[in-house]
Amino acid sequence: MNQNEQQANYSETISRSLKSNPHRDNLDYLDRLYEHYLPYFPEDKNAKILDMGCGGGLFLKFCLLHGYQNISGLDSDPSLVADITEWIDVDVITQDFHEHLGEVENTYDAIFMNNVIEHIKKDDLVLLLGEIKRALKPGGVFMATTGNIENPMNLGLFLRDFTHEIGFTLNSLRQACMFGGFEGDKVQALEKDLRFGNKLTHTKYLVESARAEKRLRRIIRAMKMRIDSLAKFIFCVCHK
């Protein structure tokens, strides 16, 4: 399979997943995926927002449902872009990340990457983060979510996708943003809280996950290992 065939196969998989998702217009479902961002969103509903690697468009729909209208997606795959624009009325830019960011400066109030940064090689990511900072307006914010590789149970989450390049911890996620040019006192690396279904389902999850984490921490202590976080997902908040 050549590179073009691989890209087509990936695009078809994402497109099929998007179109078959019965919850993609459900705000509660989208909140479960992205509500951890809300406290850090710009207050101005007309803020200029960019979703880098917008894939199936779920985050763009989330922004629209929360009243943000001045939003754009960015993806280099024309077929994914076509799928998004058939589903929701939103601007999606078909460009390579570096190509687009090289054309803008002090432009965006907020830039997001949802489960994208782990797919980028280290040297390229440092360069890209510098370009993201330049593309933000003064006081603008960059946010990105990724899996937490420090949780040993997350090893499968990372390895099951051959396109993953970097596994992040809270510390390394913060480091990467600082290497990209964000000032240390303006960079936060945080745990993402998970919410499942209704109140009863979520309560059961919290109880069972707390028990599992307690057992896991006992094993970690016995192995003399240092673990800062056992969260399944982590995210960064970086202000320019």
CA count, 13 A, side-chain hemisphere, 181: 14
In a domain? residue 175: yes
Give the Cα separation of 136 and 66 in Å (integer).
Answer: 21
Q: What Cα–Cα distance (Å) separates residue 197 from each residue in 58, 194, 208? A: 18, 10, 15
Give the Cα separation of 129 and 183 in Å (integer).
Answer: 12
| Under-70 pLDDT residues of the chain | 1-20
pLDDT at 1: 45
Query: Which residues is 144 bridged to in the sheet?
Result: 113, 236
In a domain? residue 78: yes
pLDDT at 14: 58
pLDDT at 238: 98
In a domain? residue 40: yes
| 81-84-90 Cα angle (round to 5) | 100
In a domain? residue 219: no
Phi–psi pair at 146, nearest 5 degrees? -155, 170
In a domain? residue 211: no
Q: What is the model's pTM? A: 0.88
pLDDT at 228: 86
Phi–psi pair at 237, nearest 5 degrees? -130, 115
What Rg do the C-alpha atoms of the chain give, in angstroms? 18
pLDDT at 15: 58
pLDDT at 123: 93
Domain total for the chain?
Answer: 1
| DSSP result, the chain | --HHHHHHHHHHHHHHHHHT-TTTT-HHHHHHHHGGGGGGS-S-TT--EEEET-TTSHHHHHHHHTT--SEEEEES-HHHHHHHHHHS--EEEES-HHHHHTT-SS-EEEEEEES-GGGS-HHHHHHHHHHHHHHEEEEEEEEEEEEBTTSGGGHHHHHT-TT----B-HHHHHHHHHHTT--GGGEEEEEPPP--SSHHHHHHHHHHHHHHHHHHHHHHHHTT---S---SEEEEEEE-
In a domain? residue 29: yes
Do residues 202 and 106 touch, judged by C-beta distance below 8 A?
A: no
Q: What are 157-216's pLDDT values in tens digits?
A: 888 888 899 999 999 999 999 999 999 999 999 999 888 877 788 888 888 888 988 888
pLDDT at 220: 82
The CATH number given to whatever domain includes residue 176 is 3.40.50.150
In a domain? residue 213: no
170: number of Cβ within 10 Å: 19
Structure tokens at 224: 């003399």
Q: Write down the mean pLDDT value for the chain.
A: 89
In a domain? residue 130: yes
* Domain assignment of residue 140, given as a range: 3-195+229-239
